[in-house]
Chains A and B, each alone.
Chain A
């Protein structure tokens, strides 16, 4: 089942035959976009919460809100994304709508893990940085963030895993078109959605499980590669 053709050919007859190439591209596009949107927002929020403000009403509201977001089932995100991005903002079923929805879904994880990672950087590093004449921004970007990177990356990897495997939030927002997406506004089907449709509608069980296998192996590879990269980074900074 799993051969090069399966990976590089596009699905034919609604996925009954052919490969899964377009769904691989769709998955990558959605996940990368979602991470690109959520990471700056999430890490930025974490920096704001830990370095730029004291514990007060606003921070409590942000934290509470983000914790609530974390507990919401993904299908609700899907419906929310459908109403807001697909219909209200008229992005249609598209990579853009899908990735924005996914970004909201993974934001709490990224905020939480980044916050913990930043908090665990010793206070003495901050004092040393200040005492050596760095500005607050330099202290955050040159000392705190490099030390917090392993924790932040862990959060991002978790989020990548969730995004790749997500169906409910994506099916309503990115749609299920089988073509290779050409722009942010193309509709696209991810591997997880492809698997769901193939299995649910009994189109081809063999192709469904082939897709599932690719999905699992992809997540495994991503984890291994990022941890490798992280180790190199940690070595450089310690």
Chain B
């Protein structure tokens, strides 16, 4: 099928002796929001980090099976990890602005990619900030430290910083876990807009958030993917008892 963007086949992941992901099979479609829910320690974040190979940073990290992105196996030895990470922008649970100005934060990825031209950098920064509706709020203080922005603004800045990379995918790891409802709403609005251009994978602890914005939702438990269905179906008629237990709040 043409609209499969990521295809994960029989994928397992280990940290040393501990198996953190067990035989995962998922297909992610282009321009969808796929959310992943599950209790803490279920492997959601590890899965996300397997997609941009951020797990590689941890010694003793080992994988089996394959992940294909646009038909290319990303765990092939000749894969450029740097290119891969530019293609799959990642937003972390706590916003981590780098200790520099707002402008430099957004321009960081482009600078690393070798863009030197000031006008071009500015253009990238402005359009990225506009896409997350942050431009109006920060346009007068682009040169002051990004650490001075509010939590919600910082997280949108982190999304803008990724958009500046011109990625194909946006990976979000519980992006709203530390934010108030209004900031959360703003981020969700942005994500709905961004879906038109990007494929989004959203890991979330908040089942309601998944229900609000995701087309399809996967439920992870102890490193296994229990089920993956259109969000509405997963929440109304879960196929697996464990999913039902989780969404009805019986554990997790």
B94, B99, B100, B109: the one contacting A132 at CB < 8 Å is B109
Contact A127 B54 (CB under 8 A): yes
**Which chain B residues in 76-106 approach chain A with CB under 8 Å?**
82-83, 85-86, 89-90, 92, 94, 96, 98-100
C-alpha gap A54/B61 in the complex (Å): 14
Interface residues on A, range: 20 to 34
CB distance from A41 to the nearest CB of B (A): 27
In the complex, the chain A residue whose C-beta lies closest to that of B171 is: A131
Known: A124-B96, A143-B98, A238-B99. A133 touches B83 (CB 8 A): yes
Q: Does B161 contact A (CB under 8 A)?
A: yes
Interface flag for A130 (CB, 8 Å): yes
A132→B96 CA distance, assembly (Å): 12
- Quick one: CB contact mask for A66-99 with B, threshold 8 Å, 1 for yes? 0000000000000000000000000000000000
Tell me the bound Cα distance from A130 to B92 in angstroms.
Answer: 12
Interface size of B as a range: 20 to 34
Give residues of chain B (45-68) contacting chain A, Cβ–Cβ below 8 Å.
52, 54, 57, 59
Query: Which chain A residues lie closer than 8 Å to B59 at the CB level?
Result: 54
A131 touches B89 (CB 8 A): yes
CB-CB under 8 A for A147 and B99, given A127-B54, A132-B85: yes
**Chain B residues with CB below 8 A from A146, complex form:** 99-100
Q: A133-B113, A134-B112 are in contact. Are A127 and B100 (CB under 8 A)?
A: no
- Give the complex CA separation of A128 and B59 in angstroms: 18
A138 at the interface (CB under 8 A from B): yes
A133 contacts B94, C-beta separation under 8 Å: no
Interface residues of A (CB under 8 A from B): 54, 122, 124-135, 138, 142-143, 146-147, 236-238
Top 10 A-B pairs ranked by shortest CB distance? A133-B86, A132-B109, A134-B112, A131-B90, A124-B96, A238-B99, A133-B85, A128-B96, A237-B99, A138-B112
Sample (27) of A-B pairs whose CB atoms are under 8 Å apart = A124-B92, A124-B94, A124-B96, A125-B98, A127-B92, A128-B92, A129-B108, A130-B85, A131-B52, A131-B54, A131-B85, A131-B89, A132-B85, A132-B161, A133-B86, A133-B109, A134-B108, A135-B82, A135-B112, A138-B112, A146-B99, A146-B100, A147-B99, A236-B100, A237-B99, A237-B100, A238-B147
